[in-house]
């Protein structure tokens, strides 16, 4: 049985839904309270036993490399000021046994294309794909749940959740046959269908554990109507040869690629944050009661 050691983080997208915030700063660095989205994603991957993080970066994404690198200046200042707790925080962003590797996607030509850019680094072993703008909360963490399902069934696994029917054009949508309450054998996957063309209301939630055969299927795909090479089309092609499972994970999905999903995550995380819990909760209740939101 092969273990899952590598995770690909495609972070080369355009981020148009968050402009102008994403004009010079990556969407994946947007903070939810005090931690960037990409750090939550990395922590989830590390908790699943991943030891190599492969970032597919693009224009304007250097700050992600800096975030996971040592910062001598900040560490020096915190040391001099005796701020040990903050020093530990910046020194432990990535555990020392975990390695970061970076590859560029010259243009954002789709998630499938981003994965192809990481193909050589992944090689011929199963690997995870983590989309940092999907923030998932679960216990155990969602990617760890998926690695368990992968090890059990020895085939590719895609994380899914139910969505509202009118949201279909924001998701890769799957349909198939349920084996049990959480596991479905996928028969069909369609990228961002219109509501009347969606095969179900079960959508992919930004986590995949894939067999390396996906690269062969992606290379054989032609770009879609918008010129993008979609991962969902590669997976649909994979279904001709092998099984792919949809896993309805135990946890919560925040679609932080949208403003509403990002705000929901921010509120929920603030309500659980040790520094903010009490004061934010009180403020929020007051705000809701008097309906007097600032404009």
Interface with ligand UTP (CB under 6 A):
10-17, 27-28, 56, 105, 108-111, 113-114, 131-133, 257
User: CB-wise, 27 or 161, nearer to ligand UTP?
Assistant: 27
CB of 13 to ligand UTP, least distance (A): 2
Element housing 246 (H / E): strand 244-248
Our CB check for ligand UTP shows the closer of 78 and 173 to be: 173
Q: CB-wise, 61 or 78, nearer to ligand UTP?
A: 61
3-state secondary structure of 167: helix
Structure tokens at 126: 């199963």
CA separation for the pair 150, 247 (Å, rounded): 10
Residue 206: CB minimum distance to ligand UTP, A: 7
3-state secondary structure of 29: helix
Q: Which is nearer to ligand UTP, 150 or 208 (CB)?
A: 208
Listed residue (83, 163, 81, 170) closest to 131, CA to CA: 170
How far apart CA 18 and CA 217 sit, in angstroms, is 32
71 versus 266: smaller Cβ distance to ligand UTP: 266
What stretches of 111-154 show up as alpha helix (H) in DSSP? Answer: 111-117, 119-122, 142-153
**Given CA atoms 253, 257, 261, 262 in this order, what sign does their dihedral have?**
positive
Tell me the residue number closest to ligand UTP, measured at CB.
13
Quote the least distance from Cβ 85 to ligand UTP, whole Å.
30
- Closest separation between CB of residue 96 and ligand UTP, Å? 26
- Give how far the C-alpha of residue 232 lies from the chain's centroid of Cα atoms, to the nearest Å: 15
Minimal distance, residue 15 CB to ligand UTP, in Å: 4
Quote the tokens at residue 161. Answer: 């959740």
Q: Let me know: does 11 contact 55? Beta carbons within 8 Å.
A: yes
Give me the numbers of helices (H) and strands (E) for the chain, helices first please: 11, 13
In angstroms, what is the minimal distance from the CB of 99 to ligand UTP? 20
In the bound state with ligand UTP, the residue whose beta carbon lies nearer, of 11 and 143, is: 11
């Amino acid at each position: 049985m092969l273990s899952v050691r590598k995770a690909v983080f495609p972070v080369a997208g355009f981020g148009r839904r968050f402009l102008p915030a994403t004009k010079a700063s990556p969407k994946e660095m947007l903070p939810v309270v005090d931690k960037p989205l990409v750090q939550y994603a990395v922590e989830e991957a590390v908790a699943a036993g991943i030891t190599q993080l492969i970032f597919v970066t693009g224009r304007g994404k250097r700050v992600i490399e800096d975030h996971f690198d040592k910062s001598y200046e900040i560490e020096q200042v915190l040391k001099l000021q005796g701020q040990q707790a903050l020093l530990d925080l910046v020194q432990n962003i990535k555990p020392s046994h975990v390695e970061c590797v970076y590859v560029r996607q010259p243009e954002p030509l789709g998630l499938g294309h981003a994965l192809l850019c990481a193909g050589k680094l992944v090689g011929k072993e199963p690997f995870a794909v983590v989309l940092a703008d999907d923030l998932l909360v679960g216990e155990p963490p969602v990617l760890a749940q998926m690695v368990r399902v992968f090890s059990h069934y020895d085939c590719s696994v895609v994380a899914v959740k139910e969505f509202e029917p009118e949201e279909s054009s924001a998701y890769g949508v799957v349909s198939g046959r349920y084996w049990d309450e959480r596991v479905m054998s996928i028969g069909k996957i369609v990228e961002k269908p219109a509501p009347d063309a969606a095969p179900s209301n079960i959508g992919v939630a930004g986590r995949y554990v894939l067999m390396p055969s996906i690269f062969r299927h992606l290379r054989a795909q032609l770009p879609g109507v918008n010129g993008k090479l979609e991962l969902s089309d590669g997976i649909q092609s994979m279904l001709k040869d092998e099984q792919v499972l949809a896993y309805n994970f135990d946890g919560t999905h925040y679609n932080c690629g949208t403003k509403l999903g990002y705000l929901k995550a921010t509120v929920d995380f603030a309500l659980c944050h040790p520094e903010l819990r009490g004061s934010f909760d009180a403020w929020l209740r007051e705000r809701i009661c008097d309906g007097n939101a600032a404009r």
